[in-house]
Amino acid sequence: MIDPTVKDKIDQWLTGNYDHEVKAEIQQLIDTKQEEALVDAFYKDLEFGTGGLRGIMGVGSNRINKYTIGAATQGIANYLKKTFPNKPLSAAIAHDSRNNSDVFAKVTAEVLSANGIKVYLFEALRATPELSYAIRTLGCDTGVVLTASHNPKEYNGYKAYWNDGAQVIAPHDKNIIEEVNAIQSVDDILFEGNKELIELIGEDIDTQYIEEVTNLSLSKEIIQKQKDLKIVFSPIHGTGITLVPQLLSSFGFENVTIVEEQATPDGNFPTVVYPNPEEKEAMTLAVAKAKEIDADLVMATDPDADRVGIAVKNHKGDFQLLNGNQTGALLVHYILSAYKEQGLLKGNEFAVKTIVTTELITDICANNEVEMFDVLTGFKFIAGLIRDNEGKKKYLVGGEESYGYLISDLVRDKDALASCAFIAEMAAYFKEKGDSLFDTLIKLYQTHGFYKEALVSLKREGKKGQDEIKQMMADFRANPPKEIAGEKLVTIKDYQSSQEKNLSTGQSKTIDLPSSNVIQFFTEKGSKISMRPSGTEPKIKFYVGVKGILNDNKDFDSEELTLNKKIDALMNSLGL
């Protein structure tokens, strides 16, 4: 039996001013008695999470389609006009290679222009970081990129940006949602665009972006010596192909091999199960090509090119994928080392990571006497911190464990385009010193401690799944364990209540971050377990981090095995 509230919403779509094809598809679901599919499609409206609007494409208020895209865009337009009542408004729009992304980008442009807002629309697919760059370069009030990042092909999404080139954060995100929720009818959405207000952009922005990123290079002379560094790159059928090869060339790298099977943009992502460089399977073709040509470095970007995964040769000569924590730590180490070496550190610099990212970065920053900030998960919070410190402190580098990094503040979102260039520069820098990136990582472990992290994601789809996730978080809050795998719990951080509790003393203190549905457990042996529902996927994520000692690089394998067993024990103790 379908809930009356859900049934009312279905009836609104059947009787409202929606396309005939949409109504026919809904009626077919009703006629074939697909009640679960109907409930999942209509039981709620899509909401902005850590990455904006994201969901499965299809009919319904809980799906990505012309109407949910239109409502979100109308909400943004209404909010902009209220926020800047006497200002000519403008927006930039980009889209990735996903199926329907170009269609949804056109819908977004038409709705904004119908509301009297000037639109700069990229003429073809472009990466998310270039959209962020375009907003700032063109002086826009907002921006939108149509992408579902690294999700499966059935998904699409909508990332909304503010005038600083960062994804919208409080209060704008909540205010936009209020405006969207205030739209009572599809008739409130202005779909008839004004062509005179839509301007196509492309090559000029590409050229400016490449020039400005190239000017950030810290090791130009070393790159000249290592210009033949063997690099393999794959865009995994996404937008990375638009600028990564050009950036590598602009930086001075002359020996770049593209994985041809994945070079053509394709929303069906035919060579992979998931277009996600975090997945070993997605990197298979790139690693195979690297073995074939004996490459120094493998890089692959996700469909909208805001995340990058890498593989390097390990101490056994085999190609090994590095996780987001390892790559992030290496980048922070490289940037701070290069700045220090060149006498560029003035004392007002800072780096940023998210609360679930490795504490190795904290140690690296401390060792270089560079301030480090923790923020909530989501790159918009890193961008917010950059904005808050403009004119006071200099942002150098930041990142998150989920393969997103930002060097300098040219854009205000994670940037795999520039990251690819700097990862290649980093590889050249350490190779010139006689070390591979894996050698460098081991040296970091010897200096700061052997940090090891793992992530477990439990998928829980639909309304039933969301209810299960809510219950899991409620149980952890109400009944936290006294110990995990024999390790006594000493601290609990609950970011929803903004309270950090010392279990030994019973004392609590306030966490100076916005409220968020995250819980962290810290044990007496230095282990850290973080739990949070995903803001962009139907998942609950568990981040487990442990720390050991690596006195000799010969002990790497045995110590890694010990840490892996420790992680497994912690996960098993939590029932994962």
The per-residue pLDDT for range 25-49, each reduced to its tens digit, is: 999 999 999 999 999 999 988 876 5
Residue 249 in this model has a pLDDT that exceeds 70? yes
Query: Can you list the domains of the chain with their CATH numbers?
Result: 44-201 (3.40.120.10), 208-448 (3.40.120.10), 450-573 (3.30.310)
Per-residue pLDDT, averaged over 569-574, amounts to: 93
In tens, the pLDDT along 296-338 reads: 999 999 999 999 999 999 999 999 999 999 999 999 999 999 9
Q: Which of the residues 90, 149, 408, 516 is marked catalytic?
A: 149
Alpha-carbon distances, residue 137 vs 203, 209, 409 (angstroms) = 14, 9, 13
Q: Which pLDDT value is given to residue 297?
A: 98
Query: Is there a catalytic annotation at residue 515?
Result: no
Residue 459 in this model has a pLDDT that exceeds 70? yes
Q: Which pLDDT value is given to residue 51?
A: 58
Cα 177 to Cα 498: distance, rounded to the nearest angstrom: 24
Per-residue pLDDT, averaged over 90-102, amounts to: 98
Per-residue pLDDT, averaged over 269-282, amounts to: 96
Quick one: tokens of 265?
């943009």
In tens, the pLDDT along 435-454 reads: 999 999 999 999 999 999 99
Quick one: tokens of 192?
């008839």
Per-residue pLDDT, averaged over 525-532, amounts to: 94
Beta bridge pairs of residue 298 = 232, 311
Residue 3 in this model has a pLDDT that exceeds 90? no
User: At 1, is the pLDDT very low, low, confident or very high (cuts 50, 70, 90)?
Assistant: confident
Q: Which pLDDT value is given to residue 49?
A: 58
Per-residue pLDDT, averaged over 68-97, amounts to: 96
In tens, the pLDDT along 173-226 reads: 888 888 988 998 999 999 999 999 999 999 999 999 999 999 999 999 999 999
Per-residue pLDDT, averaged over 340-368, amounts to: 97
Strand order, beta sheet including 231-234: 256-258, 231-234, 297-301, 308-313, 319-322
Contact yes or no for 311/288 (Cβ under 8 A):
no
Q: Which pLDDT value is given to residue 536?
A: 67
